[in-house]
């Protein structure tokens, strides 16, 4: 089994170079604009409260704040959160260290929960999905940006025990949709094949699943 400390350690070690990936740092204005456009399409209008889980260095959290939302970011890695705090300096946003699978937000409820490329790291993704839905106000939205990665067979191990993760390597949209049926009122899947989102062409399955409570 994986441990929270080993997972946090992995992402702590990656934090310094995390933003070098085009879709992580959003340093390319075209990539940044592509993500900003999708967030406007997926999330409620107006000044919504949005919980950004697995926020990493806060690139999407910053976009949310720039669009007038009130984001709260959560990440297990203290170093990721340190980078996020620096990136978000002056923005109306909150970030904290915590388990994104069971966010430490107490009794707070949100208009939307946004999760990008996280479920594959979770030892119990089904429990996390239930928890995230419980954090939504009535009529809220769960936005999951996920995929099923084409990983080379000789790829280095993620962390010790990662082979036991139910969705190691990502999860197909059909599997994730099946896991949510019965928990939400409706859902749709949008394929994310636009190279501008990733800074390059892709050849694996990447998608957004937008669900309503």
Give me the pLDDT at residue 115, please: 98
Give residue 68's pLDDT: 97
Helix (H) or strand (E) holding 62: helix 59-66
Pick the CATH number of 4-212 from 3.40.50.150, 3.40.1450.10, 3.10.520.10, 3.30.420.10: 3.40.50.150
Q: What percent of the chain has pLDDT over 70?
A: 99
- Residue showing tokens 């009794």: 107
pLDDT band at 25 (very low <50, low <70, confident <90, very high): very high
Find the mean pLDDT for residues 63-79. Answer: 98
Mean pLDDT computed over 113-129: 96
What would the pLDDT profile of 202-212 be if each residue is shown by its tens digit?
A: 999 999 999 99
Angle at 96 between CA 139 and CA 92, to 5 degrees: 70
d(CA 50, CA 70): 6
DSSP SS3 for 137:
strand
- Residue 152: pLDDT band with limits 50, 70, 90: confident
The yes-or-no verdict on residue 195 having pLDDT over 80 is yes
């Amino acid at each position: 089994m994986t441990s929270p400390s080993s997972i946090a350690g992995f992402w702590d070690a990656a934090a310094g170079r995390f933003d070098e990936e085009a879709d992580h740092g959003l340093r390319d204005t075209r990539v940044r604009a592509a993500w900003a456009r999708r967030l406007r399409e997926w999330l409620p209008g107006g000044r919504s409260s949005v919980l950004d889980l697995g926020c990493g260095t806060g690139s999407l959290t910053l976009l949310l704040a720039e669009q007038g939302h009130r984001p709260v970011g959560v990440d297990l890695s203290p170093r990721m959160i340190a980078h996020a705090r620096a990136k978000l300096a002056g923005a109306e946003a909150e970030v904290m260290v915590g388990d994104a699978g069971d966010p430490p937000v107490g009794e707070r409820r949100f208009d939307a929960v946004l999760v990008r490329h996280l479920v594959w790291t979770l030892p119990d993704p089904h429990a996390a999905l239930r928890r995230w839905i419980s954090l939504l106000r009535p009529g809220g939205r769960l936005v999951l940006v996920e995929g099923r990665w084409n990983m080379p067979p000789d790829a280095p191990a993620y962390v010790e025990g990662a082979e036991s993760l139910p969705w190691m390597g990502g999860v197909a949209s059909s599997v994730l949709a099946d896991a949510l049926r019965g928990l939400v009122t409706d859902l749709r899947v949008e394929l994310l094949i636009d190279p501008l989102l990733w800074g390059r062409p892709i050849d694996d399955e990447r998608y957004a699943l937008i669900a309503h409570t």
